[in-house]
Amino acid sequence: MSDYNIAVIPGDGIGIEVVAEGLKVLTSAAERAGIGLSFDHFPWGAGHWLKHRVALPPDAIETLGAYDAIYLGAVGLPGQVPESVGVGQVVLGIRSGFDQFANVRPVRPIPGCPWYLGHRRPEDIDFVVIREATEGFYCNVGGRFAPDAPEVEDIIALRSAFGESAEIAVQTGIFSEAGCRRVIRFAFELARKRNGKKKVTSTTKSNALTHAMGMWDEIFEQVAAEYPDCEHDWMHVDAMSMRFITNPERFDVVVADNLFGDILTDLSAALVGGLGFAPGGNLSQTGPSMFEPPHGSAPDIMGKGIANPIAAILTAAFMMEMLGEMQVAEAIRAAVTTVVSNGIALTPDAGGCATTEQVGDAVTATIAI
């Protein structure tokens, strides 16, 4: 019997509610498969910041490093805590702390989920977006400067508005050759293992962001040459945004930088019925990976018992897959498909009237191993 130690960070808002259901389903599936799971909960996030003025304690990375995986609910309390606190201290702090360079977002609609494309069927779409998650414009390099500050001396002359401004904000994107190469290589390796299409599509904006995106494009072609069995192509991010809606069936594995990937993955969530159905994970090759539904803390509906836990449940399944427990992962996914496609229990965002807990109970009752 395999045993795993999971660090659980429920976070804020509905994160606490959906994580409870994810753990309920996960525990039931693991017990049926004879797998031992132990969970340690950590109260970190925006709520923790309100009490202690820190969202993630200084020894958090050392503490979390002892676990096999991290299961995160959601962080943030907009209006009470600066948004940079939850994301900056918790999510980005853990990603950078464990070098979780690949944010993975599967795009596989479930029959019965809300469907917004009249010209395509849910069963026609099955792809995954790989987002580089440690570099780019999320390195938080730059600052806000007065126009006479030495840091912007060379910038002022570039545009007339710069010299007329009372303040200049500079946000620097940092792209490393090694960082680009490893996430692109990860995408090709995944394409080899998936559904036989073996196709990787890269997205950039190298006609405007010539330095960073130009390097990305060059590295993409170099890595593609290492995988002659895989098809590859690329398109600018604006064109890809359109193709996600008009021709989503053309994609297999999409690889993007941090910023563009952030935007595209929320767009792709519309193809699976909304953020309440979208699982996600941040994968590391050197430490524990972190698995989180990307829907946010939604404080406007917290405590009402109507948050959709499907994304958190599918995220738990993804976590088990990455831990090598495919039987558990597939059992959870099959149970979710049965519950959603048959309309057994759906929250209001999916056209139903079930509570968060009722959806978790229905999925738990449907698991078959």
Which are the catalytic amino acids?
138, 205, 238, 262, 266
Q: DSSP per residue over 167-178, as a string?
A: -EEEEEEE--HH
Beta carbons of 83 and 273 less than 8 angstroms apart: no
* Cα(130)–Cα(152) distance, integer angstroms: 34
Measured CA to CA in angstroms, residue 200 lies from 122, 128, 226, 299 at distances of 21, 10, 13, 37
CA distances (Å), origin 6, targets 23, 219, 320: 10, 36, 11
Angle formed by the axes of helices 356-366 and 14-33, to 10°? 10
Token pair in block for residue 131: 């987002």
- Cβ-based neighbour number of residue 183 at 10 Å: 27
- If 0-12 CB within 10 Å is exposed, 13-18 middle and 19+ buried, where does residue 146 land? exposed
Beginning with the edge strand found earlier in the chain, give each strand of the sheet holding 102-107 in spatial order.
36-41, 3-11, 69-74, 289-291, 281-283, 102-107, 127-132, 253-256, 199-204, 231-236
Task: Determine contact, residues 67/6, Cβ cutoff 8 Å.
Answer: yes
If phi over 0 gives left and psi between -120 and 50 gives alpha, with beta otherwise, what is residue 343? left
Rounded to whole angstroms, the maximal C-alpha distance in the chain is 68
Neighbours of 84 (CB within 10 A): 12
Residue among 22, 71, 57 nearest 289 (CA)? 71
Please state, in angstroms and rounded to a whole number, the distance separating the CA atoms of residues 205 and 183.
Answer: 17
26 in Cβ contact with 65 (< 8 Å) = no
